[in-house]
Amino acid sequence: MLNIESIRCWLVDIPTIRPHKLSMATMGCQTLTIIEMVCNGGISGWGEATTIGGLSYGPESPEGIRSAIETYLAPLICGKTFSGVEALSRTMNASVKGNTFAKSALETAFLDAQGKVLGVPVSTLLGGALSQRLPVLWTLASGNTQQDIDEGKRLLAEGRHNTFKLKIGAGQLQDDVRHAIAIKQALGEQVSVRVDVNQAWDMTAAVKGIRELQAGGIDLIEQPLPLWNHRDLIALSQRFDVPMLADESVATLQDSYALASGGFTGAWALKIAKAGGPAQVLKLAHVAQGAGISLYGGTMLEGSLGTVASLHAWSTIGLQWGTEMFGPLLLKDDILTSPLVFTDGGVTLPEGPGLGVEIDRDKLNHYSRQ
């Protein structure tokens, strides 16, 4: 049993190592919404909710996430005792609609505290880790073809990454296609290159662009269409040999059922934030497994805390397309006392109870928005 005594929230602004260009925004700084949940006489559980570009990505902003937690969710659950994460989730969902990013931070903090109380990792609470090490790709998103090629070749030479994703969709269709194929050709046949369109195309552009990307050796096409267009995304998955990766289109259990029952044949990008937490996202994973749909561990470009929470969930399932949990590497600094270990195209799951990490309170206060 876990009694929630108090919840505190920070907005933490950390610069990125370079501009990160997506179809809807270019990031030079990432804002992490960090919470501390104090339980059972002083046990601290930590959680993170992170989105991209304020409100340019979706309906929850860092400021909105903090407001939802402080105004609605924290008063709802503070002072109450919960037997487990499902009881917490049911209480939050009964009174607060949506706001899955805020709920994900709270669910993460609850699991961290529960793991510390029981002396077990969060992965154990979620079913048990199948692996202590997970593959991690790198996203090339400077917006400049030659700069992306140079960055990819450097990371290959360093042995840090051997799989890459490209952010396209902000430019003209033919420019984006040429950009992607040029990078694929430069990095070589043995290097997997995927693209993320971030909902930027309509069906006409998607058919033309995907045909050329498939011929150019691109391995995976992520979210080419707007999130609501399930019908055409299913059609694309059935039309082309190159798999479609549904991201924004598969956020809820209802989304997962609609895609699976409609005949979608590609892969799903799982994200704890859009599902409502590490335990909730595994429900979507189980629908995919039952339907024979491949899985991919997605990111909202979280810092280390949110990344670790995701890794604990990903470690309990098979991810045929690996993960993109590189968010901490995109940031110039960290709020953990010990950074995550990224080597040889992968990351190691931290050991220890709860999330297995400690917060550097000096760094937290340094980067917190005053």
| Catalytic residue list | 167, 324
- What is the rounded (10 degree) CA torsion for 87, 111, 300, 221? -80
* Residue at token pair 């953990």: 336
- Give the HSE-up count for residue 83: Cα atoms under 13 Å, Cβ half-sphere: 3
Largest distance between two CA atoms of the chain: 60
Rg (alpha carbons) of the chain, rounded to whole number: 20
Query: Residues of 54-77 as b/e, b for ≥16 C-beta within 10 angstroms?
Result: eeebbebbbebbbebbeeebbebb
What's the CA gap between 23 and 78, in Å, rounded?
39
- Phi then psi for residue 344, to 5 deg, are 50, 45
Helix (H) or strand (E) holding 199, with range, is: none
